[in-house]
Amino acid sequence: MRTAPRRWAERWAPGGGDTRKTRGRPVRTRGRVIAALAGVTAGLLALHRMVPNSVGRAGSLLESFLPWLGLVVVGLLGTALLRRSATALVALLLPVAAWTYLFGGLLLPGSGPGARDLVVVQHNVSDENPDPAGTARALAAARPDLIALQELVPRALPVYERTLAAHYPYHAVRGTVGLWSRYPLADARPLDIRPRGITGFWERGLRAVVRTPHGDVAAYVAHLPSVRVGAGGLASSRRDESAGLLGEALAAEDLETVILLGDLNGTVDDRGLAPVTSRMNVAERGFAFSFPAAFPLARIDQVMARSATVGRIRALPATGSDHLPVTARIALD
């Protein structure tokens, strides 16, 4: 009589002398394709920076959806279990380890609120938003200290100003971006992040000083150019150029503590945002996919900081925008 451990070993052994067929393949070879795919997935996760950007911005495109490779791993795991392939299961340890190293920390619980925390909300409200008043009320309901908005249009701006005035008496708007604050604002000025070749009205950056109870903080609000995914890959040259200008402005900022809120049209893993992410701390916890609102696939709405720690970031319920709002707690150092 065979013992249970022996039966398990015979069932899962890669071959084990068994020449039976499984869906037309010998048992000894049935896990090789899954194992190979697991190796490719692990390579894309661990070595994504080595994927070239020279053709179609392939590297940036991969990095925009990098966390979703976890679903590939789950699919391969299910297939390996159906095939009863020990070889595939062992190979899957590689992408599991790579994904956990890159993103596992985002799933951990964050620390509790601190005395020197600022709560912020970032939202691209959409220039086609049918309910700006409802959107403003929804953002204020999160009780943040700062609210950053993009795609403010002339017809909707008075609505946001009127609706937020009671709890946010200080605000600054430059072009289509704005900042609302519980604390006084000073030295508000436009931020020049316009790429070459864009003509006409284009003012999508703002810098202001927030007079918090814990000291002055430089707050930047930015809306980088959109990217497009087409047959030729990812079209992001203008976004990348604008990110470079934003990075230069952040590097030149005299105040030690800086907060950046904006629709950057890229994820924190996208190398196109490296001029910004290399200078700023990003959220330590949470995925907070924010776009598109109907089925969020990526977080392109960002909260970053310098000389401060961005804790958990999370998405808020949908508004009338095609983006979801995101909120985060920033611990001032």
Say if residue 295's pLDDT is above 90: yes
> Please, which pLDDT band fits residue 200 given cuts at 50, 70 and 90?
confident
> Please, which pLDDT band fits residue 2 given cuts at 50, 70 and 90?
low
pTM of the predicted model, to two decimals? 0.90
What's residue 112's pLDDT?
Answer: 79
> Please, which pLDDT band fits residue 92 given cuts at 50, 70 and 90?
very high
What's residue 283's pLDDT?
Answer: 96
Say if residue 18's pLDDT is above 50: no
Which residues 6+ apart lie within 8 Å of 153 measured at CB?
127, 176
Q: What percent of the chain has pLDDT over 70?
A: 91
Quote the CA–CA distance of 326 and 313 in Å, as a whole number: 7
Say if residue 7's pLDDT is above 80: no
What's residue 17's pLDDT?
Answer: 42
Q: What is the pLDDT of residues 98-143, one digit of tens each?
A: 999 999 999 998 777 887 899 999 999 999 999 999 999 999 999 9
For the chain, give the mean pLDDT: 92
Quote the CA–CA distance of 107 and 100 in Å, as a whole number: 10
Give CA torsion, residues 133, 134, 138, 143, to 10 deg: 30
Quote the CA–CA distance of 315 and 275 in Å, as a whole number: 25
What's residue 97's pLDDT?
Answer: 97
What's residue 4's pLDDT?
Answer: 56
What's residue 27's pLDDT?
Answer: 52
Angle between helix 93-103 and helix 69-83 axes, rounded to 10 deg: 150
Mean pLDDT, residues 179-187: 98
> Please, which pLDDT band fits residue 333 given cuts at 50, 70 and 90?
confident
Pick the range with the lowest mean pLDDT from 55-59, 123-127, 139-143, 283-287.
55-59
Q: Where are the domains of the chain?
A: 4-107, 117-332
Task: Look up the CATH superfamily of 117-332.
Answer: Endonuclease/exonuclease/phosphatase (3.60.10.10)
Distance between first and last Cα of the chain: 67
Say if residue 323's pLDDT is above 80: yes
